[in-house]
Amino acid sequence: MRVKLMDQFWEPRIRRTVQETIPYQWKALNDEIEGAEPSHAVENFRIAAGEQAGTFYGMVFQDSDVAKWIEAAAYGLRHFPNPQLEAVIDAVVDLMGRAQQPDGYLNTYFSVAEPEKRWKDFSFGHELYCAGHLIEAAVAYYETTGKRAFLDMMCRYADYIDRIMGPESDQMHVYCGHEEIELALVKLFRATNEQRYLRLSRYFVEERGKQPSFLKEEPGFGGTFKDRWFELDYHQAHAPVREQETAEGHSVRAMYLYAAMADLAIACEDATLADSLRRLWDHLTSKRMYITGGLGSQGHAERFTVDYDLPNDTAYTETCASIGLVLLAYRMLQIETDGKYGDVMERVLYNGMLSGISLDGTRYFYVNPLEVHPAVARYRHDMQHVKTERVPWFGCACCPPNIARLLTSLDTYFFTQNGTEIAMHLYAANESEFDVLGSVMRLHTETRYPWDGSVRVQVHADGPIDCALSFRIPSWCRHPRVHVNGEALAPDAVVERGYARIRRAWREGDEIELYFPMVVERIESNPKVRENAGKIALQYGPIVYCLEEADNGPDLTDICFPAESEFAAAYREDVLGGVVVLSGEGLRSDPGWEDELYRPVARRKHSVPISAVPYAFWGNRKPGEMIVWIREK
């Protein structure tokens, strides 16, 4: 399967990621961005290699920033060859090789800062987590360039881990407090066809949650404050994975675990893991997911809280958790073509993931709340995780390279192919190519999605190819239409589990037309979501909108929409790089309050024009307030 995006929404973003973000992040990793928080991540490798004096600086998982950056760059190189960049990567891989220890171990923190603590703090040491990101980077770089050096280094590391950890009595019976290596090992297995990597991944996943847990015996267990939010469920280690019923704990950790479970469900054809995932998915997306696809309701321990607890202004909704949800959703689609996975993947891509990076690709949000009042957020203790403006880098910089690697690999999320079924999950103009039982099928897709819901797909094939083409019918669309070669298909006849599934002998020139009429939808929350009671969010196609102070002035929470008011949607080239802007009438309180704090209801309101812009692009203009959920009168 090869996919080449040629659209106006994603392609320019991916290009910018390659041309602006990746060079920018390399500078950040080398501490060359003025005014940004220091990284020291490359320097740490130099120190670990013994080539420079100094002490380790940064998070215990600082290595993973470099790994994710290499992975992002490697994906970018597939579409935008760049020998200079490749030379930079080769050099840093060389450096890593010199920092790698004779037994294969590679971790700058535990080599430089606390060598005596190697493999002593699985709760928070992040050693296997960093190994996982290095492995993912190595696989990506190998797959793009065919160069084996990094891959071989990582095989040595994985072999070392495989020797000392596992089920045998002379091995450590452990798993990492932060999942990541599990899904990385599946990638390494796929790249090398070495079964032991798959076995080790499965071991880690199945060891997890056995009681009593070794994690509880570790001095580091419980986190800084040793409190209830850092108990076993924080690490998804409160029960064996097949017995976990609900999405719990640190939300990034949870997503990475579930993604690995999905990989194993596929690679090992393990139906019990798939069953667990369906349960966890339904719980996650029906009880604990923001409308943006954001995950994690609480800053403290960066975690899920309780069902329907989705506060907007104190949300954690880490960019990495959104990325993790994309990883999971796509893997679920690999397990089964069900629209519920594709719908969520689309939701998070256009909203809670994309909000993590600025239009120019060099400023970031780590936390993606759905309501920001800068003066309050800057002051309140329970909002200290909220940044009111995008920043150039973070002391804990997991998100920026993570979003880069997702964007540069975004083409890989558009389709799945399962034998003779090709399913299209996301819509954007693209050229794609598939091997169907030895025949080459190419699809040429034209659309202005997400700003317009018309999609035209042309089939190119040398001869007739008997296969199913399945197209996701977005759940936000009330009246979808599907035409094949000009003939309308009755949705009831072709749509199953959220996909129009059309099996036939496809021939050169066949054309599928999909019409997903976009209107401005007012979305309400389940009434159990306390924070959103009486409020609506505006959605246009897959895009969730917000109000910004830049368009609507301050005190956004004072605005409400009459139930009968209409919104107009219009593409505006001049706004935020070109977006559909929603315009309508809202109501605001009359002035005249002055120094009163409480008074008998007067209900004096006046009408004001309101503009809404895509949530993902908030904070790209002057600083100010932002809200997603708006009161309805």
- Positions annotated as catalytic residues are 302, 398
CB-wise, 305 or 439, nearer to a second copy? Answer: 305
Shortest Å, Cβ 178 to a second copy: 20
CB-wise, 125 or 311, nearer to a second copy? Answer: 311
Give the separation between CA 542 and CA 459, rounded to whole angstroms: 26
CB-wise, 359 or 523, nearer to a second copy? Answer: 523
**Is residue 450 reached through a cis peptide bond, with omega within 30 degrees of 0 on the bond before it?**
yes
CB-wise, 55 or 526, nearer to a second copy? Answer: 526
Stretch that binds a second copy, among 101-109, 155-163, 442-450, 528-536 (CB under 8 A): 528-536
Give the separation between CA 573 and CA 575, rounded to whole angstroms: 6
* Cβ neighbour number for residue 553 with a 10 Å cutoff: 16
Judged by CB under 8 A, the residue of 42, 138, 139, 301 near a second copy is 301
Distances from the Cα of 500 to the Cα of 338, 481, 491, 510, angstroms: 11, 10, 7, 16
479 binds a second copy (CB under 8 A): no
Distances from the Cα of 349 to the Cα of 21, 319, 346, angstroms: 18, 11, 5
Distances from the Cα of 226 to the Cα of 114, 253, 306, 581, angstroms: 21, 18, 20, 47
What x-and-dash track marks residues 561-580 binding a second copy by CB under 8 A? --x-----------------
597 binds a second copy (CB under 8 A): yes
Judged by CB under 8 A, the residue of 41, 260, 289, 348 near a second copy is 289
Q: Which helix (H) or strand (E) holds 436?
A: strand 430-436
At 586, which amino acid appears? G
603 binds a second copy (CB under 8 A): yes
593 binds a second copy (CB under 8 A): yes
Distances from the Cα of 550 to the Cα of 318, 360, 537, angstroms: 24, 18, 18
Angle of the 319-335 helix axis to the 399-408 helix axis, nearest 10: 40
Identify each DSSP E strand in 245-311 by its residue range. none
What x-and-dash track marks residues 125-164 binding a second copy by CB under 8 A? ----------------------------------------
382 binds a second copy (CB under 8 A): yes
Shortest Å, Cβ 463 to a second copy: 44
Task: Provide the CA 347 distance to its chain's centre, in angstroms.
Answer: 10
β-bridge pairing 454-461 and 415-418: unpaired
At 598, which amino acid appears? Y
What the block records as the tokens of 616 is 């993902």
622 binds a second copy (CB under 8 A): no
Shortest Å, Cβ 478 to a second copy: 8
Q: Are 173 and 136 in contact (CB under 8 A)?
A: no
Judged by CB under 8 A, the residue of 583, 588, 620, 621 near a second copy is 588
Shortest Å, Cβ 388 to a second copy: 13
Stretch that binds a second copy, among 41-49, 97-105, 282-290, 458-466 (CB under 8 A): 282-290
185 binds a second copy (CB under 8 A): no
Shortest Å, Cβ 593 to a second copy: 5
Distances from the Cα of 477 to the Cα of 39, 303, 472, angstroms: 44, 32, 11
Stretch that binds a second copy, among 10-18, 462-470, 479-487, 522-530 (CB under 8 A): 522-530
Residues near a second copy (CB under 8 A) are 229, 282, 285-287, 289, 291, 298-301, 305-306, 309, 314, 373, 375-376, 379-382, 478, 521-530, 533-534, 536-537, 555, 557-558, 560, 563, 588-589, 593, 595-603, 631-633
